Structure 1
Amino acid sequence: MTFMLDEKPPMRIAALADQCVQCGLCLPVCPTYALDRNEAESPRGRIAIAAALAKDQAEPSAALREHLDHCLGCLSCEKVCPAHVRYGELLVETRALLGPSPQRPSREIALIRAPARWRRWRRVLGRLGFARWKRGFAALLPASAPMRSALALWPATPQPPSSSAPATPETTTDVAAETVAIFPGCIASVEDADAQRAAATLLRAAGYRVVELPAFCCGAMDLHGGATADADRAAEQVRAAWCTAGANHLVTVTPGCVGTLRHALPDVSISDPATLLAPRADRLSFRSLQARVAVHLPCTQSNVTRSDAALLALLGRIPGLEITTLAKPPHCCGAAGTHVLEFPERAARLRDETLRQVATLAPQILLSSNIGCRLHLAAGMEQDGARWPHQHPLVLLAQQLEA
């Protein structure tokens, strides 16, 4: 199988690829290279593939495409690159050149990025007790079927309440206070509704005004899947919502959305709440909690928002809390947006290694900021029968916040 490329070689991809000096410092931090020890599964190898495709030196075969699609987009390579290669940009441009994969799980993606539809299904299937029999139903499907992977991610907990009406009142009387807009996202607006309420509570306690944008998909799954037209439409929706927000900053409780939001709004201050809370941490006081927590830092939090230090500093202000963190790259949980649906076996291998780390730390609570990572890890825990209570770290911070 082959894929059509533009007739004119895309010079931008070639220029981005030519920045790579082939030093190999990216290899030790690449999760997919750690899985296979295959040069084509490394950033250096993928840059070479992208350059060859861009310069018409290679035919865009299914085999070459698979190496590109295996990439998790974790950007650990970009963080350590001495030549400052913009690998994330190169990956997005190359996937856009190839277009969406014929194996792209469009039906499952459509469900995930439609929060109203997801909420309706959660309500209906919750009444039917779907969480109790989903494994038996999934076993009837082929092991590689995206729907089987999607069913594994189906939450075992009841549907959380909506975050559309933040529970805490406005606390600041400073007319000059900066306004923060919270972007709810798609599936996160349902499954991380408590984290969004927690973010509003913490930001207001720190002296910010808070508004909430409508819930919709930022376009990350389309942007990283080569579906350029759909990604562009999502970006337009983001820009329209931002223009009506009247805010100084845009935040999201899901680090996986930050890069795509920055792509849509390059001149806007976009981060996760921890970045804005950390400089005002002296305004926040927390109750003691004698507990041991393991903090899973999603790749996007470490490499895109780069807010891991801010988050750990905030958690460190809770008296009595014992904080341990999971190992850094080349470790990745394997969720990576739609990767868990498209390549479930590879995603499970990465997840199992992550859960082995969690077991070694033996926490009482597992914290992770990215809803995709948390659902993926929860599916692995359910499969292994080893469950740790898990939540967004902002929820824990808000629970311990003193009035």
Structure 2
Amino acid sequence: MIGMPDEKPPIRIAALADQCVQCGLCLPVCPTYALDRNEAESPRGRIAIAAALARGQVSTTPALREHLDHCLGCLNCEKVCPANVQYGELLIETRAMLGPSPGRPERELALIRQPARWRRLRRIAGWTGFAHWKPLLQSLLPPDSPMRAALALWPRQPLPKQSPLPLSNPTAGETVALFPGCIASVEDAEAQQAAITLLRAAGYRVTKLPAFCCGAMDLHGGDSEHAAQAARQVRAAWEKAGADHLVSVTPGCIGTLRHALPGADVIDPVTLLASRADRLSFRPLPEHVAVHLPCTQSNVTRSDTALLKLLQRVPKLDAKALSRPPHCCGAAGTHMLEYPERAARLRDETLRQAATLAPQRLLSSNIGCRLHLAAGMGAVGQSWPHQHPLVLLAQQLET
């Protein structure tokens, strides 16, 4: 059986690859194939490369590895695959077999993984007026430097304030545990507070887990050791919570949380809110907004339709989603740090699409996507306010 625990990784990779019938239906929905029109930059091509590596038919060269590392893990291909190829699992297994990429930005990742350190750094940056001398520092770094790319993503807004959580919490009913994550626990604190407010208004009891990294960047980057450590921490926190559902406001974390907790109900809070939408009332908001749907929201949590239906419940709000596929904003975890030029090309196309909607605000559920999109707005002559859609919903909630 495919995927049994006692299977060696190369055997499992070969078995997963053999599911592919080479039909090519994945090519039109693959963002990297759209960039290069190169078979090796398509899911079908990468499956062939992974199978050859697993069977020892080819050796690992920088060129072959780069095709695998270019993959965004968007999983558009899985959604259209008639053979139900588990491409995401194949990619994770292959990268684990190869180990982390030599160009992986370890210093930057070490900082992102630790929310307390990130929060201190953000405070220090605010005290020293970092925003004013950041452009000079960027100009001193090479164009392909991960640090330069990280500086471009530095949030323009001050460090979000940690507001006290609402005291009211239903005394009975299903319990939801909120997973804060790492950088999202700092930069998306407002969205997490919004999720708690909305879930409690819908009748759920909500608790909050400690803030730490789920291991998504490591799992998808071939760093099996760090990914396994994070998975153990996730399991311990989940068992202690004793909740019915585990949620995260960051769709990019949910797939990894499900990987660590195969028996748990790990879900987008949007899905829970949509199931009790009749309990929520919203004040009118006469505004045009563009909704960027992260790949993980469309292809992993599959909560994109539920989100749009919730937004439609806000009277007078005109919320339009950016078209897809094959469009991906290019953030893709660490991809925007490792391949900033490729990521920028994808981002600029996404922003051009947003501009055709003439929005007054840009919404996106993934903090990495939102920071990446914000960093590129100047290049397309835009400066839209941007926020998590749950924040908008909480702001308009009638209490």
Q: TM class, shorter-chain normalised?
A: over 0.9
2:283 aligns with one of 283, 287, 297 = 287
Separation (CA, whole Å) in 1 of partners of 2:80 and 2:135: 40
The 5 A counterparts of 1:35-184 are 35-162=35-162, 165=164, 167-173=165-171, 175=172, 177-184=173-180
AA aligned opposite 2:259: H
| Mapped partners of 1:383, 1:137: distance in 2 | 19
8 Å CA contact retained: 2:271, 2:306: yes
1:305 partner SS:
coil
1:304 corresponds, among 300, 303, 310, to 300
CA-CA distance at 1:43 after TM superposition = 0.2
- Would you say the 8 A contact 2:351–2:380 is kept in 1? no
**Rounded Cα–Cα distance in structure 1 between residues aligned with 2:168 and 2:48:** 53
Question: In structure 1, the residue corresponding to 2:147 is in which secondary structure?
Answer: helix
Alpha-carbon distance in structure 1 between the residues aligned to 2:118 and 2:162:
12
On the 8 A contact 1:43/1:77 being kept in 2, the answer is yes
* Aligned partner letter, 2:270: A
Counterpart of 1:10 in 2: which secondary structure? helix
Distance in 2, matches of 1:39 and 1:162, equals 47
| Equivalence for 1:387 | 383
Instruction: Give yes or no for contact 1:223–1:260 (8 Å, CA) kept in 2.
Output: yes
Aligned 1:119-268 pairs, distance under 5 A: 119-162=119-162, 165=164, 167-173=165-171, 175=172, 177-268=173-264
Question: Per the alignment, in what secondary structure is the counterpart of residue 167 of structure 2?
Answer: coil
Q: Secondary structure at the match of 1:34?
A: helix
Output the amino acid matched with 1:229. Answer: E
The 8 Å contact of residues 9 and 93 in structure 2, kept in 1 or not, is answered as no
Contact kept? 1:19, 1:83, Cα under 8 Å: yes
Deviation (angstroms), 1:132 = 2.4
Which residue type is aligned with residue 254 of structure 2?
Answer: V
Residues 197, 394 of structure 2: 8 Å contact kept: yes
Code of the residue aligned with 2:204 in structure 1: it is Y
- Cα distance in 1 for partners of 2:288, 2:391 equals 16
* CA RMSD after TM alignment: 1.0
| Aligned AA (1:69) | D
- Residue aligned with 1:14, SS: helix
Deviation at 1:230, TM superposition (A): 0.5
Q: Secondary structure at the match of 1:143?
A: coil
Secondary structure of the 1:74 match is coil
- Report the Cα distance in structure 2 between the residues aligned to 1:133 and 1:274, rounded to whole angstroms: 39
Could you list the runs of 5+ residues in structure 2 that have no partner in the other structure? 1-7
Whether the 8 Å CA contact 2:9–2:97 is kept in 1: the answer is: no
Q: Distance in 2 between matches of 1:217 and 1:111?
A: 11
Structure 2 Cα separation of the partners of residues 320 and 307 of structure 1: 22
Report if the CA contact (8 A) 2:348-2:380 is conserved. Answer: no
For the residues of structure 1 that align with 2:155 and 2:136, how far apart are their CA atoms?
15
Matching residue's letter, 1:32: T
Could you say what secondary structure the match of 2:314 adopts? coil
Distance 2:124 2:167 in 1: 32
Aligned residues: 392
Separation (CA, whole Å) in 2 of partners of 1:286 and 1:379: 31
Contact 1:9-1:55 within 8 A present in 2 as well = no
- Could you state the TM-score of these two structures normalised by the residue count of structure 2? 0.97
Post-superposition Cα deviations, 1:117-156, rounded to whole Å, max 9, x if no partner, equal 0000000001111122212210110000000000000001
Query: What's the % identity of the aligned pairs?
Result: 76
Give the conservation status (yes or no) of the 8 Å contact 1:162–1:189: no
The residue correspondences of 1:341-360 to structure 2 (distance < 5 A) are 341-360=337-356
Q: Distance in 2 between matches of 1:253 and 1:120?
A: 23
Tell me, in whole angstroms, the C-alpha distance in 2 between the residues paired with 1:46 and 1:296: 27
Give the C-alpha shift of residue 323 in structure 1. Answer: 1.2
What is the CA–CA distance in structure 1 between the aligned matches of 2:166 and 2:273, rounded to whole Å? 17
Aligned partners of 2:15 and 2:198: how far apart in 1? 43
Q: Distance in 1 between matches of 2:226 and 2:343?
A: 25
- Amino acid corresponding to residue 96 of structure 1 in structure 2: A
Supply the AA of the counterpart residue of 1:193.
Answer: A
- Inter-partner Cα distance in structure 2 for 1:180 and 1:201: 12
Amino acid in the other structure paired with 1:110: A
The residue aligned with 1:328 is: 324
Check the 8 A contact 1:14/1:55 in 2, yes or no: yes
